[in-house]
Amino acid sequence: MGTSALISLGTRAMFANYAALQTVGQNIANANTAGYSRQSVELSNSTGQYTGAGFFGKGVDVTTVTRSHDAFLTREAATARAVSSMDAARSSKLSQLEKVFGTGAEGLGHAASQLLNSMVDVSTHPADPSARQSALARAQEAAARFNDAGKQLDALQDGVAMDMRTTVATVNQIAKQIVEANNKIAAVQGGGHTPNDLLDQRDQLVSELSQYVQVSTMIATDGTMGVFVGGGQRLVLGGASQDLVVLQNEYDPARVQLGITEANGTRMLDENSLGGGSIAGILQYQNVDLQTARNLVGQLAVSFASEINKQQALGLDLTSAAGSPGAPLFSVGAPLALAAASNARDPGGSFTSVIGLSITDANQLKASSYELVADPAGTPGSYQLTRLSDGNKQLVVDGDTVDGFKISFGAVPPGATDRFLLQPVTRAANEMQRIMDKPNGLAAASPVTGTTGANNKGTGTIAGVSAVLPSTDPAVTPDVRVNITFTSDTGDYSYDFVDRVSGAVVNSGTGTWVPGQPITLNGFQLKLNGVPKGPVGGGTGDTFTVDKTTLPGTNNGNALAFLALRDKTMVGKQLQPDGSITGGATLTDAYASAMSDIGVRVQGAATKANISSSVAATAEQERSSKAGVNLDEEAARLMQFQQSYQAAAKVLQVAQSVFDTLLEVAGR
């Protein structure tokens, strides 16, 4: 053995420690670089050389440079980030939606209540043009408030579509960057060493991609990574990627959905398969929260407008001397039946089958859309209707009435593969308008007027007389007056329908009055205060007469009926199996419930976003604890390898001294 062996040992040691120092320096330099994984030099003992005196070591070899990486922790961190991004995106969108449901004077309920409250002045001065004009102004404000709410919801939908397009473009760009990283990794993979920085770059791209859409990954034998979305749809595979695209919703062109391009066309991705990412959060907001808000506003608009128009039709206006039935005050958007884009079409491109919807009872309408498909059992003429708000399913046929609306098929009934989205109230608020412009058109007068008998002995007085059926209804006989005579102190009475012209009795009957309850006859309701008296000393009991109104300008019966709508249940009534109608809420309560519904969604989404953000931070911290750089550790390693390098240099110095001594001895 010569001095060259010692020199070789020192040289190898210096190279190994220098490599370690270089790697430590790289770690320190990238301590704050996103996605960087701590690197370390792998050293191995060189095989010893055999001599007659045994095996002598040949030093140290630098095997490779590895990175601290845990595939499981990396995958969990990316998944948690996807869920956090989904919840954050939905929470952000819901905070914007909450502003549509204003509180106090800014709310829809307040505007509607102001219209009803304005009827106080009209009831006090039925013929006063200023009171009537003020009521119409309140009506205009209510219609504008509902209309504005619909437009705000449209603007939020436009924002969803814009965000989707921007996000999808970002996803496609990241996918192409992953392809580039795959190509670079594959090109150097055969060298026997891992391209650590390229692998970190690719993992960071996958992490960024997880913000927008949850992915699953698979490493191929050539080192390339396959990236999959939507339950297994290929986004990146080897050196090629497929683009995500924004498609129109199959029913509603204003709404969007996610698709992916493939060799044979574009495939729609089910939003429920996306798992996480901001795209999933945006779609959930669009298809659930935003649609619920539309239906809540639409339900309020239709119920309120319908009830106002109904009461308007029960009164008399000032358009003629004798008065005429009130014309509608409001109009709202018509119910819609949207055909799926895949439905059968005729040669001209129009849908073969068309469905019509009509409102039969606005009080029973639900804040929901419905999906109509052929009966899964294949029963001819029968179709399955699913209420999307709660998943309730029922079978319907042509002409059936469900939840306050009627379904009518056209000349060609829906086919076995046809699908329809029914929206009874979704677009109602967007087209709500006040269609009455003349103050004289406000029907403040009741078509019937009540008078109290001059000789009445009891304390009974007329609190109000109002129609409950339009004067055009067959059940109403406007050419008769009704004489009501109390026959006992316990509320028993008799009545006569008397022909106004001849004075002949047309019909008679009896009944019992209950305090607090109106007397309902011939399409009107007579409300009494106090207690009427029966016959006294052989005479007749108290009498009340209900007759046709001849001077609408002095009658306030229908204006009082408008006031009573403030406490009337008009929203969300339920038809029972026995045919009775129960439940429902006043307009104020219904709006408060709608605000509560949205408010709960906002608070729930915010809480969920905070929790998932915390989970994502924890997952990233666990990943970072494995792969991240600890500057204290690196500083200690820096000192360690510095000392090792200096020791190796000392070995070289000794080897050089020994070599010089040998030269000196040999030269003598």
More confident residue, 14 or 158: 158
Does residue 99 belong to any structural domain of this protein? no
Is there a single domain that holds both residue 409 and residue 462? no
Give 366's pLDDT tier (boundaries 50, 70, 90): very high
Q: What is the mean pLDDT of the chain?
A: 90
Q: What percent of the chain has pLDDT over 70?
A: 97
* The two structure tokens encoding residue 206: 């996958």
Q: Are residues 416 and 522 in the same domain?
A: no
Q: Domain check: are 404 and 484 in the same one? A: no
What is residue 321's predicted lDDT score, i.e. its pLDDT?
56
Within a domain: residue 371? yes
| Domain-embedded: residue 395 | yes
H helix runs in 513-630, sequence order = 557-564, 587-627
pLDDT band of 660, cuts 50, 70, 90 = confident
Q: What is the mean pLDDT of residues 534-552?
A: 88
Whole-angstrom distance, CA of residue 357 vs CA of residue 143: 23
Q: Report if residue 400 sits inside a domain.
A: yes
Other residues' Cβ atoms within 10 Å of the Cβ of residue 404 = 23
Closest CA to 78 of 243, 279, 212: 212
- Is residue 571 a contact partner of residue 590, using CB atoms and an 8 Å limit? yes
pLDDT at position 322, please? 56
Work out whether strand 492-499 and strand 480-486 pair parallel, antiparallel, or are unpaired. antiparallel
Instruction: Give a yes or no: residue 311 inside a domain.
Output: yes
Same domain for 426 and 452, yes or no, is no
Q: Say if residue 347's pLDDT is above 70.
A: yes
Q: What does the block give as tokens for 511?
A: 């009944």
Residue where one domain finishes, among candidates 508, 525, 548: 548
d(CA 157, CA 163): 10
Domain co-membership, 362 together with 464: no
pLDDT in tens, 190-224: 777 889 899 989 999 999 999 999 999 999 988 89
Give the model's pLDDT for residue 448. 87
Let me know the angle formed at the C-alpha of 219 by 213 and 220, rounded to the nearest 5 degrees: 130
Identify the residue with better confidence: 6 or 527: 527
User: Which one-letter amino acid corresponds to residue 419?
Assistant: R
- pLDDT at position 91 is 95
Residues 178, 209: contact at Cβ < 8 Å? yes
- Residues 63-90: tens digit of each pLDDT: 889 899 888 999 999 999 999 999 999 9
Do residue 390 and residue 481 come from a single domain?
A: no
Specify the amino acid at residue 565: L
Query: Quick check: 482 pLDDT over 90?
Result: yes
| Domain annotation covers residue 402 | yes
Do residues 423 and 300 both lie within one domain? yes
Per-residue pLDDT tens digits for 231-244: 889 999 988 999 99
- From 434, 462, 492, give the residue that closes a domain: 434
Looking at the structure, tell me whether residues 394 and 330 fall in a common domain.
yes
What average pLDDT does the segment 307-323 reach? 82
Decide the pairing of beta strands 49-51 and 54-56. antiparallel
CA gap 584, 272 in Å, rounded: 33
Q: Are residues 314 and 365 in the same domain?
A: yes
6 pLDDT more than 60: yes
Distance CA 18, CA 23 (A): 9
Same domain, 423 and 453: no
Helix 71-97 vs helix 587-627: angle between axes, to the nearest 10 degrees?
160
CB 181 within 8 A of CB 188: no
Domain boundary residue, one of 434, 460, 495: 434
Query: For residue 266, what are the β-bridge partners?
Result: 261
Give all strands (DSSP E) within 230-378, no chain letters: 233-237, 240-241, 244-248, 256-262, 265-268, 330-331, 336-339, 355-359, 370-374
pLDDT tens digit sequence for 610-641: 999 999 999 999 998 888 888 989 899 989 98
Same domain, yes or no: 319 and 379: yes
Mean of pLDDT values over 494-519: 91
Compute the average pLDDT of residues 509-522.
Answer: 92
pLDDT at 77: 93
Q: How many DSSP H helices and E strands does the chain contain?
A: 11, 31
- Mean pLDDT confidence for 360-386: 94
Q: CB-based contacts of 97: which residues, under 8 Å, 6+ apart?
A: 153, 156, 285, 289, 290, 293, 598, 602
**C-alpha to C-alpha distance for 389 and 395, rounded to whole angstroms:** 17
**138 inside domain:** no
Q: Which amino acid is at 393?
A: K
What separation, in Å, do the N-terminal and C-terminal C-alpha atoms of the chain show? 22
> Is the confidence at residue 474, as pLDDT, over 60?
no
Residue 660 CA to residue 344 CA, distance in Å, equals: 98
Say if CB 337 and CB 356 are below 8 A apart.
Answer: yes
Nearest residue to 448 (alpha-carbon basis) of 432, 472, 464, 430: 464
Burial 462-472 (b: 16+ CB within 10 A, else e): bebbbbbbbbe
The pLDDT value recorded for residue 585 is 93
Q: Does the pLDDT value for residue 651 go beyond 90?
A: no
Query: Which residue range is the domain that position 41 belongs to?
Result: 3-68+630-666
Both tokens of 173, joined, read: 């760009």
Q: Give how many domains the chain has, as a whole number.
A: 3
Looking at the fold, whether 461 and 423 belong to one and the same domain comes out as no
**H or E, element range at 22:** helix 3-29
Q: CA 492, CA 541: separation in Å to the nearest integer?
A: 10
Distances (CA, A) of 423 to 187, 294, 439, 528, 572: 56, 10, 34, 43, 16
Helix axes 129-188, 71-97, angle to 10 degrees: 160
- pLDDT-derived band at 323 (thresholds 50, 70, 90) equals low
SS3 of residue 270 by DSSP: coil
Per residue in 390-401, pLDDT (tens digit) is 999 999 999 999
The answer to the question of residue 275 being in a domain is: no
Tokens of 391: 């998943």
Residue 387 pairs in a beta bridge with 370, 392
Residue 106 pLDDT level (bands cut at 50, 70, 90) = confident
Helices 129-188 and 108-117: angle between axes, nearest 10 degrees: 170
**Collapsing DSSP states into helix, strand and coil, what is residue 210?**
helix
Nearest to 298 by CA among 4, 520, 591, 582: 591
